[in-house]
Structure formats: structure tokens, C-alpha cells
Amino acid sequence: ILHLIEKQKLVSEGAGATPVAAVMFNKIPDIKGKKVVCLVSGGNIDVTILSRVIKRGLLKSGRSDTLTIQLEDRPGQLRDVSEIISKLGGNVVSVHHERASEDSDITDCLLRLVLETRNFDHIREIRQALTSAGFKIVNK
């Protein structure tokens, strides 16, 4: 569904996008190198489901990532994290700062960020740079 939206500017429900998915993921034998026509039908998709499809597609393609970082609760930490992400071309689209967590020290806080990224290599690059700068990433 996401591929159809991005590449063909078409909105289809799940069943209507099945032929394209079957071709994309090599589920039909003996068509490699041939011209193939897929019948795409049915635009009856709920906008909430469509939103989930897009978010999931971005996550699965490495174009979105969620980071949770354990920080010392002191001035400048958010700036330093943001600077690293920015220099590497990541875009922060959501920020959640939590001071009280049962799993952290009393002087620590958790910073949860949702990022727009290019791919999985870009995510690894950002995570490595943060870790190298001394930040502790607490999610995988």
C-alpha cells in the first residue's frame, strides 16, 4: 500500500494491493524480466488504518526510528543530542522528556525521540554517534 502511494500516487485497500505485493516479493514464479500488469482495486481503506500502514512502512524501511536515551538531568543535554542528530541529517519529529522513571537514577531522565531517517544505515550512524558521545540508548 505504501509503495503504491509513494511510487504510483494510488490509494488501495489491502486486498486491492495484493497483486503488487505478490510481484514485489517474488510470490509469482517465472515473471522475472517480463512485463507484468497488476490489477489494483478498491480504495475503501479507513484513514486510521492508512496512517498505521504508512507509519509501519516507514519503520520497516528504516525511514523512521524511535530512540530512548537516558540522560543526566542537567542543562544542555537536549541541545547536545539534537546537535548530533542534526549534523548527521536526521530530523526530530517528536520529543518526550520524562523525569520520573522507576528504572532510572534520581538524577537521570529519559528522552524519547521519533526521527525521520534515510535508511537503516543512517539509523546505525546516528545511534553510534550518540553512543560515542557518551549517551546511553536504552532501547534497541
pLDDT in tens, 17-52: 999 999 999 899 989 888 999 999 888 888 999 999
- 65 and 140 Cβ atoms separated by less than 8 Å: no
The domains located in the chain, with CATH, are: 2-60 (no CATH), 64-137 (3.30.70.260)
Per-residue pLDDT band for 101 (boundaries 50, 70, 90) equals low
pLDDT score for 105: 65
pLDDT score for 33: 87
The C-alpha angle 19, 23, 28, rounded to 5 degrees, equals 95
pTM of the model: 0.77
Q: Is 73 left (phi over 0), alpha (psi -120 to 50) or beta?
A: beta
